[in-house]
Amino acid sequence: MSPVSTAGESLPGGLILVVEDDPLILEFLCEILQEEGFVVQPQASADAASDYLEGHYDEVRLLLTDITMPGKLNGADLANQFGDRWPDKPIMIMSGFETPETSGVRHQVSFIKKPWALGQLLDCVQSALASRPL
């Protein structure tokens, strides 16, 4: 799957890698972000996102991931891998069950608890991006 953009303003310096195993939530997140002008790359698992990053890490500006996911890696593992390899790039985590601390995330992240309101989500994305400017 290739990055998806709208005619709006794209994210300077890269895209948002959106990782969520629930297909409806993944689609909704991507639509919201695209409507705001962001370029997004959806991935349905942390394993798939990790594979994607091997060839496209330089394109990714922000990792936005859920914590609880099936597969070898969960979102906390992905966040740690991402933060270890690319410490200058921001990470945003969402979860309805865990927090970054309880799930073992070792890096500074922006966190939003599910269920979130649209404004909260967009504010958190902007805050995460502002935390590590280009």
| Residue spans per domain, the chain | 15-131
Q: CA 69: distance to chain centroid?
A: 13
CATH of domain 15-131: 3.40.50.2300
**Quick one: pLDDT at residue 133?**
79
Cα(84)–Cα(90) distance, rounded to whole angstroms? 12
**Quick one: pLDDT at residue 9?**
42
Give the residue among 4, 22, 36 at the shortest CA–CA distance from 121.
Answer: 36
**Quick one: pLDDT at residue 14?**
80
pLDDT one digit per residue (tens) for the chain, 134 residues: 445 443 334 445 589 999 999 999 999 999 999 999 999 999 999 999 999 999 999 999 999 999 999 999 999 999 999 999 999 999 999 999 999 999 999 999 999 999 999 999 999 999 999 988 77
Residue type, 107: H
In the structure encoding, which two tokens stand for residue 51, read together? 């594979």
In the structure encoding, which two tokens stand for residue 38, read together? 């962001």
- What's the chain's length in residues? 134
Classify the C-alpha dihedral 55-18-126-85 as positive or negative.
Answer: negative
